[in-house]
Amino acid sequence: MIKPYGAEALMPLFVYDQNRHHELLHEAHQLPQLMVSSAAAANAVMLGGGYFTPLTGYMNLADSLSVARELKTSAGLFWPVPIVNVVADVSAIQGASRIALLDPNQEDNAVIAIQTVTAIEEISEAELTEIAEKIFGTTDTNHPGYNTFVTQGRYLVSGPIEVLNFSYFQNDFPDTFRTAVEIRNEIQSRGWSKVVAFQTRNPMHRAHEELCKMAQEAVDADGVLVHMLLGKLKAGDIPADVRDASIRKMVELYFPPNTVMVTGYGFDMLYAGPREALLHAIFRQNAGCTHFIVGRDHAGVGDYYGPFDAQTIFDQVPEGALDIEIFKADHTAYSKKLNRVVMMRDVPDHTKEDFILLSGTKVREMLSAGELPPPEFTRPEVAKILMAYYQQLDAA
């Protein structure tokens, strides 16, 4: 099986030992408490599940600046996005060596982790802007990821953590949320050797379905990991439960049995385009995947990134850093000429009129009106699930 990133074995920070878990929960009541941001809580979930191996906790300012500027930590580990705990108010934890981190996404604000504090550093306005600009490629506050990052606060609390729960993800998505540990175990139990990972924050239409099949065939993979983001999204994106239902229906009806694992991970979408694509590759390697599909405008939003920036950034990965291989995909669409889904780069004789292309806005209008998009664009069973969601939304 493919090795985890930067380590011989996966390094989940969740405390599996029951006695230690109980001790930490007891200790949490005696410690200063800090309410963290949704982003920091999601980082804890990813660290807990082993997805961010070999990191041991939240980065300090030196590492954050180094990662932003040079795509590596101060110690030289290739890493694309600072994994941080940024807060607005540190008055309750000044001088503390250990603190309990409270989860803003759980009703009871449960303790999500215990952190050993190695530093509390104030980030200057210039440093915060520089880090955010490097990550997101813009200083436009209309960019959802940039705006979230620069409004969380100006204090960076760094240090190793011990994770005590997986936030709301385990309860809300019991059949879908999986840690990197669990995915690796399932890949092994299925006897898969080559595994292609597909990232999605959207429902999967016909083009996505066929892209997974193309990639699986091209690399001769045993199976596909459909790995959906379950955390926070920007306004207007389709909720995780609706996506989950539609993807499961598509896999059930249109993929051969036992060739797809439908899973999800607990992280908030960054919309960081190229940088996020690199992060996606790292944590798919940690999940045991050998190949990762990077498509057109991967992890993008609006027109902040070029259509293939998320592919070309992999040229900056130091040789030997990543073991996972990238499957670079073009835009896929149904060809009326060939009566099948194709990658546009493979059919240079086609014009725009030869494809069935629908905008997201147009698809939503059709579904809201009770009209099924053409089956060449969306499987009818998937469209019906999305239609029910949009009609309920419009009726509210």
Orientation of helix 380-395 relative to helix 360-368, angle to 10°: 80
What is the model's pLDDT at position 360? 81
DSSP 177: B
What is the model's pLDDT at position 364? 87
Active-site residue, from 184, 201, 284, 379: 201
CB 102 within 8 A of CB 79: no
Q: What is the DSSP string of 320-341?
A: TS--SEEEE---EEEETTTTEE
Q: Look up 201 and say whether it is catalytic.
A: yes
What is the model's pLDDT at position 383? 95
What is the model's pLDDT at position 21? 98
What is the model's pLDDT at position 124? 97
Please report the domains of the chain, with CATH numbers, ordered by start residue. Answer: 18-170 (3.10.400.10), 175-395 (3.40.50.620)
Q: Along the 396 residues of the chain, how does pLDDT read in single tens digits? A: 999 999 999 999 999 999 999 999 999 999 999 999 999 999 999 999 999 999 999 999 999 999 999 999 999 999 999 999 999 999 999 999 999 999 999 999 999 999 999 999 999 999 999 999 999 999 999 999 999 999 999 999 999 999 999 999 999 999 999 999 999 999 999 999 999 999 999 999 999 999 999 999 999 999 999 999 999 988 888 999 999 999 999 999 999 999 999 999 999 999 999 999 999 999 999 999 999 999 999 999 999 999 999 999 999 999 999 999 999 999 999 999 999 999 999 999 999 999 999 888 889 899 999 999 999 999 999 999 999 999 988 877
List CB contacts of 203: < 8 A, sequence separation 6 or more: 238, 242, 243, 246, 247, 382, 385, 386
* Neighbour-count burial of 282, counting CB atoms closer than 10 A to its CB (0-12 exposed, 13-18 middle, 19+ buried): buried
- Alpha-carbon radius of gyration of the chain: 21
Q: What would the two tokens of residue 264 be?
A: 């999800």
Q: pTM of the entire structure?
A: 0.96
**Residue in the block written with tokens 């001790």:** 23
Q: What would the two tokens of residue 108 be?
A: 């009871």
What is the model's pLDDT at position 361? 82
